[in-house]
Structure 1
Amino acid sequence: MNVLGIIASGVAALFITVALAKGARRAAFRPHVPDEPAGRAPRARALRRTGGPAAVLGVGAAVGGALWLGAADDSAGSVAGLLAGAGTVAALGLVHDLKPLWGALRLVVQTAAAVLVVSLAGLSPAAGVLAVLWIVLVTNAFALLDHADGLLTAVGVVTAAGLLACAAVGGSPALALLPAALAAGLAGFLLHNWHPARLRLGASGAQFTGFALAASGALIQAAAPSGRAAWAALPALATVALADTALVLISRRRAARSLLRDTDDHIAHRLRRVRVTVPGTAVLLALWAGVPVATGTLVYAELLHPALLLLPLAGTAAAVFALLRIPAYAPPRTAPPRTSTRRTTEHATGAAIPSAASAPGAAPTPGKASPGSGKAAGTARTAAGRPTVPPPPTGRPAAEAAAVAAERS
C-alpha cells in the first residue's frame, strides 16, 4: 500500500465522519424532541451520547473501501480482522448506550473480539495471550477518558498519529491504514465534540477508538523488525489512558469505594477542581499524551535510546501522585444528634414532646395543667383527670329530643 492510499483513506474518513456527525447533530437537536418539565431533554441527551456511530461508520467505510480496492496487499486479513473486531465492540457499545449491559458481558465480547484479531494476525500462543490482555486493558482505559468534552477525541488523534508514524517507519504501511483513518475521523468528529459538545462518542465510539488503537499497536509490534525496541516504545503511546485508570483505581481503593462505580474522580475532574477550564483540560491532556507518543515513536524509529522512555513515564507517575492530593470525594455527611432533631421538630411544629407525666394512666401533677390541655380546653374531665365520654347519639333531631324530654318532665 502506498502513501497516496493512506492519505486517500484518511481524507475519506474525515469527510464521511463530518457529514454523518452533522446529520446526527441535527437529529439530536430537532425542535420536536420533547423536553421534561425541568428543562431537560432526555431523548436529545441520549441521541448526543450515541454520536459515536458517526465516527465508527466514517472510519469503517474508509477502511472497508480501501480493503475492497485491494490497498492492503498481503495484510488484508489482519486489517479485516482488526476492523471486524472493532466493529463488534462498537455494536456492543451502542447497545450499552441504549440499555446498560453488565460489565462481565462487555469484557467477554471484548475478549472474543481480541481473540479474533490475534487469530487472524497469526501470532504465537504466548504472544497472542499477552496481546489479548493488552487489547482488553487499553480498550477500557481509553473508554474511561470519555468523561469530558473533546478529551478522548483529542487524545485519540494524538495516539493514532503516533501509531501511523510507527507503522510507516516499521515498513508495515497496510497496518497504518486504520490509524490514519481513525486519526482523520476523530479530527472530524472533534468539530462537534469540542466544548460545549453537541455530540458525544458514547460507549460505542469510545470502545471502538480504544479497541482500534490497542489492536493496531499489538499488530504493529508483532510485525516490527527484530532490531527495534517495539516492546518498550508502543506501550508508551497509551500512557495517558493508563495513568487515568491507575489514578481512578488507586483513589477509589484508598477511599474504600466501589472500583466499578463511575464517579467524578478522573484526571479531568480533578483539573476542574483547580479551576482548569474544560477546553484547557482537553488541550493539556493532548499535550501530555504527545510527550510519550513522540518519545515512543522516536525510540521505535531508533532515533532515541529506549532508556529515555523512563523520562515521560517518571513524569506521568509524578503527575498521578500530585493529582491524588486533589480531593475528589465530598466528605461524608454526619447525622445530627437525635435530641437536636427532636427539638427542631418541636420548634417547627409547635407540638410538645410527651413526658412521663402525660403517659396513659399517670396521675396529673397538682396545680399543673396536663399536656394537651391547651389544645382541648373545652373537653370536660372527671376528678381523675380523664375526659368524659359523651352519650351515644340517639339519631333523633334536636327538636324531637327536646319534646320527648319535656313530656318526661
Structure 2
Amino acid sequence: MLYGIVAATTAVLLAAALCALLRGPGLRAGIVKVGRRGRRVPVVGGLAVVGTVGAVVGVGEWSGAARLGGEVTRVLLAAVAVALTGLAEDLRPARPRPAGRWPRLARGALRHGVPAGAAALVVPYDVLGVPGGLLAAGWIVLVAHGFVALDHADGVMGAVGVVTAFALGTCAVADVRDGLAALLCVLAAALTGFLMHNAAPARVTAGRGGALFTGFLPAAVAVLVLAGRGPGTGGSVLAALSAVPVASLSRLRVARGLRGMGVTPRGVVVTVAALAAGAAVPGVLVFLDCAQPWAAWVAAATVATTVLACGRPGRAPHGSGELRAGAPLTRTRHTARTPEL
C-alpha cells in the first residue's frame, strides 16, 4: 500500500518534470510537430512516460521495496521494445523518407513485426492455447495501434489511457494480481503527469512511441488478467475496455467531429474520457460478477458507435492536420491574370 502511494506520487512528479526538461531540447533539435497554425509542439512526451514507468518500476525492483515478479518484468520489457520502434521515428528530425520498395517493406516490418512479436511473447499459451494465444496477441497489437490513432488531439490519448489503466487496475486487484495492479497504477500516474503538459494547448505531445506504450501495456495486462475467464466474460470485458481505441482505428477522428460541433478542446478530452469510462465501468462490473456479460457488450457497442458517429475523416493517419518540422511543403504559385478588354 505504502509503495503504491509513493510510486504513484513519484511517477506523477517525475513525468511532469521530464516533460518540462525535454521540451526545450526537443524544440532546439527540431523533434516537433507543426499544427495548422504553425505552433511547434515537441514530440518528447512518450520518452517521458516510458522513462518514468521504467525508472519507478526498476527502482522498486532494485531496492527490494516491491518485488513485482517476472510477469510484470516481461510485460514491461515487451512494452518498452514496442515503444522503441515508435520513439525511433519520434526522436529524429524529419527528413524525406527513402523511396523504393525495400525501405518501405523494412519500415512496415519494423512497425508491425516488433509489436506482433512482443505481444506473442507475453500471451499465456498454457491457458489460452495456441489459437487463442495468437488471437490475443493480435488483439494487443490492435489496441496499441488504436492508441496511436487516438493521439490526434491534445490530451485525448492520455486521458483514455488513464481511464483504461484505472479500470483494468481494479480488475487486477480483484484478481489478486498485485504486481500487475502496481504497474498499471504507475502508468496511470505517469500519464497524469504527462497530461499536465499535454492538456490543450499542448506544450508536448506523446508521439507514436508514447501512444504504442500506453496502448500495449494495459492490453497485455488485460490478456493476462482475463485469460482464465472464458470467452463470454473475458471477451465482453476486453471489448468494453478497448471500445474507444479500437473504434478510433477508422479514419474517423472523434476529436475533429466534436470540435465541429462547437465543443472546446478541453471539452473534447472530457467527452472522450467519459465515453471510455462509460464502456469501462460495465466491463469492470462484469469482471466483478456484478453484471451479466451482455451489459459490457452493449456498452462497448454503444460507445464504439458513438465514436464513429461523431468522427470526421482525418487528414493523416497520425495527427490532425499536423506536419513534422522540416517536412517538404508543396507550394502553388499564383499568377495574376490580365483582364481581357
| TM norm. shorter chain > 0.5 | yes
> Aligned partners of 2:336 and 2:164: how far apart in 1?
63
Match of 1:288 among 267, 271, 275: 275
Q: Report SS of the residue matched to 1:304.
A: coil
Residue 76 (structure 2) aligns with: 83
1:315 corresponding residue in structure 2: 302
Secondary structure of the 2:69 match is: helix
1:275 matches 2:262 = yes
Q: Give 1:348's aligned residue.
A: 338
- Using the TM superposition, name which of 286-295 and 274-283 deviates more: 274-283
Among the aligned pairs, what percent are the same residue? 38
Match of 2:332? none
CA shift, 1:134, in A, is 1.0
CA shift in 2, pair 1:235/1:121, >3 Å: farther
Aligned to 2:14: 16
Change (3 A) 1:70 1:217: farther
Q: Would the aligned equivalents of 2:23 and 2:203 in 1 still touch at CA under 8 Å?
A: yes
Instruction: Give the match's secondary structure for 2:248.
Output: helix
2:240 is matched with: 236
Offset at residue 177 of structure 1 (A): 2.1
Verify: 1:55 aligned to 2:49, yes or no.
Answer: yes
Larger radius of gyration: 1
Give 1:8 deviation, angstroms. 3.0
* Distance change in 2, residues 1:77/1:204 (3 Å): same
Equivalent pair of 2:26/2:43 in contact (CA under 8 Å): no
Question: Alpha-carbon deviation of 1:240?
Answer: 0.8
**CA 230–72 in structure 1, closer or farther in 2 if over 3 Å, else same:** farther
1:90 is displaced (CA, Å) by: 1.3
State whether structure 2 residue 140 is matched by structure 1 residue 142: no
Q: How does 1:7-406 map to 2 (within 5 A)?
A: 7-28=5-26, 45=41, 48-70=42-64, 76-97=69-90, 98=92, 102-118=107-123, 124-222=129-227, 224=228, 229-246=233-250, 248=251, 265-320=252-307, 322-323=309-310, 348=338
Q: Aligned letter for 1:233?
A: V
Deviations 1:366-392 (A, max 9, x none): xxxxxxxxxxxxxxxxxxxxxxxxxxx
Query: d(CA) in 2 for partners of 1:121 and 1:204?
Result: 30
**Once the two structures are superposed, what CA deviation does each residue of 1:159-184 show, in whole Å capped at 9, x if it has no partner?**
00001100001111111122111000
CA contact (8 A) 2:7 2:56 kept: yes
CA contact (8 A) 2:7 2:186 kept: yes
- Aligned-pair CA distance for 1:104: 3.6
Q: Secondary structure at the match of 2:204?
A: coil
Displacement after TM superposition at 1:51 (Å)? 2.5
Instruction: Decide whether aligned partners of structure 1 residues 317 and 194 sit closer, same or farther in structure 2, where only a CA change above 3 A counts.
Output: closer
Task: From the superposition, tell whether residues 276 and 23 of structure 1 become closer, same or farther in structure 2 (CA, over 3 Å).
Answer: same
Q: Deviations over 1:16-38 (max 9, x none)?
A: 212211211243466x99xx9xx
Between 1 and 2, higher relative CO (CA 8 Å, sep ≥ 6) is seen in 2
CA RMSD of aligned residues (A): 3.2
TM-score where L is the length of structure 2: 0.79
Structure 1: runs of 5 or more not aligned? 249-264, 330-344, 352-409
Is the CA contact (8 Å cut-off) linking 2:244 and 2:304 kept in structure 1? no
One-letter identity of the residue aligned with 2:188: A
What TM-score, normalized to structure 1?
Answer: 0.67
CA contact (8 A) 1:6 1:176 kept: no
Query: Separation in 1 of the partners of 2:291 and 2:111?
Result: 39
* Structure 2: unaligned runs, 5 residues or longer: 98-103, 316-334
Contact kept? 1:228, 1:300, Cα under 8 Å = no
